[in-house]
Structure 1
Amino acid sequence: MPIGIDQLNFFTPSLYVDMIDLAKARNTDPNKYIIGIGQEKMGINPITQDAVSMGANAALPIVSEADKSKIDMVIFATESGTDYSKSGAVSIHRLLNINPFARAIEMKQACYSATAGIMMAKDYIASHPDRKVLVVGSDLARYGLNTAGEVTQGAGAVAMLISADPRIMTVSDETLPFTKDIFDFWRPNYSDTAMVDGKFSNEAYIQFFETVLHEYQRRYDFSLEELEALCFHLPYSKMGKKAMANELEKVSEETKNRILAHYEASILYTKNIGNIYTGSLYLGLASLLDNSQEISAGNKIGMFSYGSGAVGEFFVGELVQGFKKHLATKEHQQLLDERERLTIPEYEELFMEALPENGTSLKLSNRFDSAPIQLVEIRDHQRHYAFR
């Protein structure tokens, strides 16, 4: 029974910083950001958008009235959680008015956990083929003002409905995870910004990709020649290209050129939003499907998921007949086009805004925020979300 992605949508807040503006403010050559890192714009969240509200906004357009009664599980993947105990999935479940007899859980493993959510969803649907699972990956990537990682920040969420007989992409049963305890990137509970060993992080990413790919090839008699495209978790748009460089030297020139051409289509949204952690791989998939003119039904797409700390996984998806009719290409482009460009002082002011940590009540609003679902109030140590 084919199981996979039935619907796919992303959300990013209505604000961005232009990388040329940021480079000038940081006394840096803009080409270091635009060409060296491969980033053009950085998605910025107002205080009224956190991981939960962004996840709900990503899911809102793809959860129909009929779906609400069929969704048996809401899986919220994030490393930007808002509560040590209560899952953001519970809030998303309420906001979308999903069937009350459903599981709602939050998963964490850096940027990897949305993939774990998909695999869990597949297992559930295999024994409940008439049901669906909502998987949401949502995060705020923050490293601090005027830091080495500032240019790779971002904000956004991706939502996917997983079902039998999916209308976009089936996910193969042949998948391979790999885990190793390392410190390439982490964020202690007492810090609101991440810590990263930049050089080691890049090396670990490449090592994980090559390790899982080689073992996948050994176990499943697989070749990159079978793929139309490769999608990667993208902490910045150049990372996937670095990871596959050695492997592309082992394939035909035709395969190499094809995969590199599709890669350029897959990074367009990341270039304009930045790193969104758990949703990053699937933002790349959305970008590929929306922007590649050559991709077609029956094509196989290799998917490399990576979450620092670290867990990686490689699997293959296959596009189904008629998938293009179920893409939100026009809506995605409109979302990006309608964002407002912040000045650097405006960005720095928004970045420093913080929610109270002592139980103080606060009603929230932001003139920039036009999203349907927002964080509207802090009251009695509780976050309250509502439709605006």
Structure 2
Amino acid sequence: MKIGIDKLGFYVPHLYVDMNKLAVARNIEPAKFTIGIGQEKMALAPITQDPVTLAANAALGILDETDKEKIDFVIFATETGIDHSKSAAVYVHHLVGLNPHARCIEVKHACYGATAAIQMAKGHVALNPESKVLVLGSDIARYGLNTSGEATQGAGAVAMVISADPKVIALEAQSTYLTDDIMDFWRPNYSDKAFVDGKFSNEQYILFFSKMWEQYKEKTGLDLNDFEALCFHLPYTKMGMKALKTVLDEGTEATQQRLAANYKISAEYNKNVGNIYTGSLYLSLLSLLEQKEDLQAGSRIGLFSYGSGAVGEFFTGILQAGFQDHLYVEEHKGLFTSRTEVSVPEYEEIFQETLPTDGSNIEFNIDKDPAAICLVGMTDNMRNYVNKLR
């Protein structure tokens, strides 16, 4: 039985910051942002959007009534969760109107969480072939104003339906994975901003990829020439290319050219959104599928997932016949073209807007937020959401 991604969508907030202008405001040469790390725009979440609403809007864009009835498991992967107790999946389950007879949980391990969710979903579908699982990867990356990590912030969510006989990509059974207890990136419970040892994290990312790639080749007998493309977790778009370059010489000249060209396509969405942590790898996959028009069914795609702290996995999928007919290219194109640029001072003001932490109530005006699902405020320490379509 084939199991994999049946549907794949994403949502990005309607605001963004131009990285050239952010660089100028920080007295940094713009090329360090646009070329050095490969970022052009940074998605910015207003106060009316949080990880729950981003995920719910992503799911709303791909689910039909049949999906809503058959989904009996929702797995929400995030490292910017909103509650230490209640799963963010429960909010999404309600906001998009899913079958009440469902499990809903939240999982965490830095940027690896959505991959863990997919593997868990595969096991559920293997035992329950008629079921579907909704996997969500949703995050808002915050390092702080005028920090070394500011240029690698972002916001957005990816939603995936995992099922038997998937229409987009069937995930192969063999994968390799690795864990090591390191401190390259972390966010203590008391902080709303992350801490990172950037140089160390980059080194570990490449080391993890190298170790898992060698293990994968030994385990499967496959090599670089067997792949149409490799997609990477992208905290910034040059990161994945650094890892890819370490193995490119293993392929033929044609393979090297193909993988390099396809990598560039796979990074296009990410460079215009920024880092979305758990959803980053799958935004890269989506960028490849929706923008490379001559991708063929039967092609093998490699996927490298890395979560600081650290856990990594390398796994693969085979594109299914007619997969192009089950993408949401125009809808996603509309998300990008309808966004509004904000100035650096406006960005700084929005960035510093936070929810009350003292138990006080607050209400937001959501008229300027075009999203169907928004955060409308807090009452008695509870977040209040609305689906405008109801």
Write the distance in 2 (CA, Å) between the matches of 1:167 and 1:142: 35
The TM-score with structure 1 as length reference comes to 0.99
Write the distance in 1 (CA, Å) between the matches of 2:339 and 2:368: 9
Write the distance in 2 (CA, Å) between the matches of 1:296 and 1:186: 39
TM-superposed CA distance for 1:147, in Å, is 0.8
The match for 1:251 is 251
The match for 1:18 is 18
Q: Deviations over 1:304-326 (max 9, x none)?
A: 00100000000011100000001
Q: Deviations over 1:349-382 (max 9, x none)?
A: 0000010001111111245411000011201110
Q: Is the 8 A contact 1:68 1:98 kept in 2?
A: yes
The answer to which of 215-224 and 259-268 deviates more is: 215-224
The match for 1:212 is 212
Q: Deviations over 1:60-115 (max 9, x none)?
A: 02111111111110000000100000010000001111111110000000000100
Write the distance in 2 (CA, Å) between the matches of 1:313 and 1:281: 11
For 1:177, give the aligned amino acid.
Y
Write the distance in 2 (CA, Å) between the matches of 1:251 and 1:64: 42
Name the SS for the 2:245 alignment partner. helix
Q: Deviations over 1:142-183 (max 9, x none)?
A: 100011111110000000000000000000011111111100
Write the distance in 1 (CA, Å) between the matches of 2:347 and 2:207: 35
Write the distance in 1 (CA, Å) between the matches of 2:195 and 2:331: 35
Q: Is the 8 A contact 1:169 1:319 kept in 2?
A: yes
Write the distance in 2 (CA, Å) between the matches of 1:178 and 1:214: 12
Write the distance in 1 (CA, Å) between the matches of 2:367 and 2:290: 30
Write the distance in 1 (CA, Å) between the matches of 2:311 and 2:367: 39
For 1:60, give the aligned amino acid.
L
Q: Is the 8 A contact 1:47 1:366 kept in 2?
A: no
Q: Is the 8 A contact 1:175 1:315 kept in 2?
A: yes
Whether 1:41 and 2:37 are equivalent positions in the alignment is no
Q: Is the 8 A contact 1:75 1:106 kept in 2?
A: yes
The answer to which of 231-240 and 244-253 deviates more is: 244-253
The TM-score with structure 2 as length reference comes to 0.98
The match for 1:223 is 223
**Identity over the aligned pairs, expressed in percent?**
56
Name the SS for the 2:188 alignment partner. coil
The match for 2:180 is 180
Q: Is the 8 A contact 1:46 1:368 kept in 2?
A: no
Q: Deviations over 1:260-303 (max 9, x none)?
A: 00001100000100000000000000000011123111110000
Write the distance in 2 (CA, Å) between the matches of 1:307 and 1:14: 27
Write the distance in 2 (CA, Å) between the matches of 1:386 and 1:340: 22
For 1:13, give the aligned amino acid.
P
Q: Is the 8 A contact 2:366 2:374 kept in 1?
A: no
The match for 1:7 is 7
Q: Is the 8 A contact 1:14 1:368 kept in 2?
A: no
The match for 1:131 is 131
Write the distance in 1 (CA, Å) between the matches of 2:38 and 2:366: 30
Unpaired runs of at least 5, structure 1: none
Unpaired runs of at least 5, structure 2: none
